[in-house]
């Protein structure tokens, strides 16, 4: 399946949606968490999508997989910050479960892409 743009990828769309939900929720985090929890969870959730942009590098299989791996690592970091958010009473358990589940779904999509790069990379025409 040929995608014309990284924004067409389901992993990007779901990751972007998750990042925007986190952004909206984190507006209500305590002010004392601005430079720790708030900034960190926003940064890691946005980095998931920023690294999926590596789709533009899909001519190079190893580079493509490496950037997807970076994206997956940022997704895992986001899960850690979600757990801190719940334990610090910044989000409730229902919100945590919803966001964590969405993050796991993004991780599964990224893993699929890493396991099957041939479905996404541009074949060498030489």
3-state secondary structure of 109: helix
| CATH C-level class of 6-116 | mainly alpha
pLDDT at 54: 72
Task: Please report, rounded to a whole number, the percentage of residues in the chain having pLDDT higher than 90.
Answer: 73
In sequence order, the 6+-apart residues with CB closer than 8 A to the CB of 95 are 25, 86
Mean pLDDT of the chain: 91
First CA to last CA distance, the chain: 21
CB 120 within 8 A of CB 6: no
Predicted confidence band at 125 (pLDDT cuts at 50, 70, 90)?
Answer: low
| C-alpha closest to that of 95 among 82, 109, 84 | 82
pLDDT at 120: 86
pLDDT at 126: 57
Domain locations along the chain: 6-116
CA distances from 119 to 110, 112, 126 (A): 13, 10, 19
pLDDT at 37: 95
Judged against a pLDDT cut of 70, whether residue 78 lies above it is answered with yes
Q: Residue 54 gets which letter from DSSP?
A: G
Tokens of 114: 């890493």
pLDDT at 74: 98
* pLDDT tens, residue by residue, 2-59: 556 888 899 999 999 999 999 999 999 999 988 899 999 999 999 999 998 877 777 7
pLDDT at 124: 65
């Amino acid at each position: 399946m040929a995608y014309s743009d990284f924004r067409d990828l389901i992993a990007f769309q779901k990751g972007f949606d998750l990042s925007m939900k986190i952004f909206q929720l984190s507006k209500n985090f305590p002010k004392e968490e601005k430079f720790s929890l708030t900034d960190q969870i926003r940064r890691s959730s946005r980095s998931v999508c920023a690294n999926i942009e590596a789709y533009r590098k899909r001519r190079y299989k190893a580079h493509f997989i490496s950037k997807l791996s970076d994206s997956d690592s940022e997704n895992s970091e986001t899960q850690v910050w979600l757990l801190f958010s719940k334990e610090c009473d910044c989000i409730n358990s229902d919100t945590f479960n919803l966001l964590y589940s969405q993050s796991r779904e993004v991780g599964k999509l990224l893993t699929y892409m890493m396991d099957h790069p041939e479905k996404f990379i541009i074949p060498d025409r030489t």
